[in-house]
Amino acid sequence: MTLTYGGGDHPAAQFLTYEHVQRWLVEVRRKASVRYLAVGEYGSEKGRAHWHVLLFYEKGAPPDVELNKRINHKMWKHGFSQWEEISTQAIRYCVKYVQKDKGALEKQAKFALSKRPALGAKYFVKLASEYVEAGLSPKELSYSFPDVLNKKTKLPETFRLPKQSFSAAHFVESFVRLWQEKYGNSRWPSSELVDYFLDREAAKTPLDLGKERFAGRVPKPERPPPHGSEPVYSPSVNAYFSDTPICRLWFYRNKEGDLVWHEKLGKAGNAVRNGRIVLKGLRPDG
């Protein structure tokens, strides 16, 4: 979609007003369920404001209009609108505005998109489901599409999620949830990637293992918590953990000195200091 403002010295063409796009989206959503990505920019020749919008239809269909032609449409009352089939070229043009290296014009642009959930969220749930159905655990944050090929190798292009991104966490969390729904308390195949995200969630306040030395390996719990998986040792924090349908639990001493299961590690949980996680003088558990 391209949304422009009236000709001549139309005052609205001087500024990018995202509220206009929001009102237009309200009209679009009266007839369909859509996700969107919108980019507002100024023309390189006359500096006139206009918008490019990618619409991803989940339910319903676009209005019955002639494609690739500037038209006056009742949903956009500020000027012309032009509907086109979405293309790879259009996507690349719009997403360039999220790149770090921007020119002067790009820096003046405005960028907005669907966030709740994020664009592409359903794909990563589907990808997680494929791992679960195959009985496998994801080992890395890479994915590909069979019809998106590398120009040189002619093989599917490999994309990678940043480890700190929302989509990466959403993908792994979806995998854990779907695995537990299908297999109950049976633990998934070993995966450092999955463990990393679950450990990160548990340790809201990271433990600094460099400042304190463990006095010994924490003892193994005699049994898992109710509905929990068989305890697994994590050398990074010197504690055993068990995955339950609700969350990952950690086994260490509380403030009263009792060995119990906790939802969190470090200062965010009951273990005030790293030393509370270990029992001094005990022989390492095999």
From 3.30.750, 3.40.1310, 3.30.420, 2.60.40, which CATH number describes the 2-113 domain? Answer: 3.40.1310
- 13 and 42 Cβ atoms separated by less than 8 Å: no
CA dihedral angle for residue 211, residue 216, residue 220, residue 221, rounded to 10 degrees: -70
pLDDT at 285: 41
**In the predicted model, what is the mean pLDDT of residues 45-52?**
88
Q: For residue range 78-134, what is the model confidence (pLDDT) as tens digits?
A: 999 999 999 888 988 888 876 644 555 555 788 899 987 788 899 999 999 999 999
pLDDT above 90 coverage of the chain, percent: 38
Supply the pTM of this predicted model.
0.62
Inter-axis angle of helices 166-183 and 192-202, to 10 degrees?
100
Q: For residue range 14-45, what is the model confidence (pLDDT) as tens digits?
A: 888 999 999 999 999 999 999 999 999 988 88
Tell me which DSSP letter residue 285 carries: P
Q: Token pair of 260, please?
A: 């119990």
Q: Enumerate the domain spans of the chain.
A: 2-113, 122-194, 203-277
* CA distance linking residue 215 with residue 168, whole number of Å: 35
Give the bridge partners for 165, in sequence order. Answer: none
**DSSP letter string over 94-110?**
HHGGGSS---HHHHH-E
Q: Is the previous residue joined to 117 through a cis bond, with omega within 30 degrees of 0?
A: yes
* CA distance linking residue 157 with residue 99, whole number of Å: 19
Q: Sort residue 23 into left (φ over 0), alpha (ψ -120 to 50) or beta.
A: alpha
Q: For residue range 126-185, what is the model confidence (pLDDT) as tens digits?
A: 999 999 999 999 999 999 999 888 889 999 999 999 988 888 999 999 999 999 999 988
Q: Does residue 257 carry a pLDDT above 50?
A: yes
**DSSP letter string over 129-197?**
HHHHHHT----SSEEEEEEEE-TTT-SEEEEE--TTSHHHHHHHHHHHHHHHHHHTTPPPPP-HHHHHH
CB proximity list for 271: less than 8 A, separation 6 or greater: 252, 253, 254, 262, 265, 277
Residue 156's Cβ-count burial label (10 Å; 0-12, 13-18, 19+) is middle
* CA distance linking residue 209 with residue 267, whole number of Å: 13
pLDDT at 267: 46
pLDDT at 60: 93
CA dihedral angle for residue 18, residue 23, residue 28, residue 32, rounded to 10 degrees: 100
Backbone Cα Rg of the chain:
26
CA dihedral angle for residue 254, residue 259, residue 260, residue 264, rounded to 10 degrees: 50
CA dihedral angle for residue 240, residue 124, residue 147, residue 100, rounded to 10 degrees: -90
pLDDT at 243: 87
